[in-house]
Each structure stands twice: as structure tokens, then as C-alpha cells.
Amino acid sequence: MKLNFYLASIAGIYLSMMILTAIVEFGIWNQTPLQYEMIGTIAGVLVLLLGLISIGYFNSKFAPMDKFKQSLNAHCLFVLIMFVGDVLYSESSILIIVLRNLGYLVALQLGAYIFKRLNPELSKIPNYKM
């Protein structure tokens, strides 16, 4: 059922992002000495970006049917929930909130796009719509 996929997908993305953020925060940013702060920041951002791309990839991989479309719907729903939470509870400006959430969506969809490009045989399956 599609609802089960969407609920499991959103919960998986949320838990994966929490684990990824904890790894970057406590493993990279808190362990970086002050003189190497720029290198630690760059490494942390790269790890976050690669982690979000891999989350999007695996989310597309485990979608039951129309993999790219279902992962797009799940990613948009997740980003919308994150956006509403940010608007309600964040002290950042609206521009920063919009850009951050668009970055999440782009990184997640980049993973789905990579999955689509690495698996071209999926377009030959009957009833599969790209």
C-alpha cells in the first residue's frame, strides 16, 4: 500500500537525518580543533550532502512501484513537514528556511536521479512510468 511506503519513507528519512546530523555534529564539528575549523566545516557539509544523496538513493531503491515518482512525493512531503516545523519554531529568517529546505529537496532528489540513471532497465518494465 502506498500509505505504508510514505509513512515508512518519511520516518526513515527523519531517523537517517538525525543519525547523520549526530555523526557530523559530534564526530566532525565537535572534534575539530579551532585552527582547522574551516576544514571541519567543509568536511561536515560534504558528509551531510553525501548522506542526503544516499538517503534519496535508498529511498528510491526501496519504493514499491513507480520509484522516481513515489520517492519525489515522499521527499516533497518530508520537506514540507520540515518547512512547516522550521517556520513555526525556528528563529531564522524565512529566506534561510526556504533555501535550507530547497537544499534538502535537491539533495534527496539527486539521489533518486542517480538511482534512475544507474538502473535504466526499470524503464522496460510494463506499467512503469518514468
Domain contains 39: yes
DSSP 28: I
Residue with cell 519525489: 72
Q: What is the pTM of this model?
A: 0.85
How many domains in the chain? 1
> What pLDDT score does 114 carry?
92
Domain contains 72: yes
Asked whether the beta carbons of 58 and 17 are under 8 A apart, the reply is no
Give the residue numbers spanning the domain of 70: 2-124
Asked whether the beta carbons of 114 and 57 are under 8 A apart, the reply is yes
Domain contains 7: yes
Domain contains 79: yes
What is the chain's alpha carbon radius of gyration, rounded to the nearest angstrom? 16
Domain contains 47: yes
**pLDDT tens across the length of the chain (130 residues):** 578 888 999 999 999 999 999 999 999 999 989 899 999 999 999 999 999 999 999 988 888 877 888 888 999 999 999 999 999 998 999 999 999 999 999 999 999 999 988 887 765 555 555 5
Domain contains 129: no
Asked whether the beta carbons of 58 and 65 are under 8 A apart, the reply is no
> What pLDDT score does 19 carry?
95
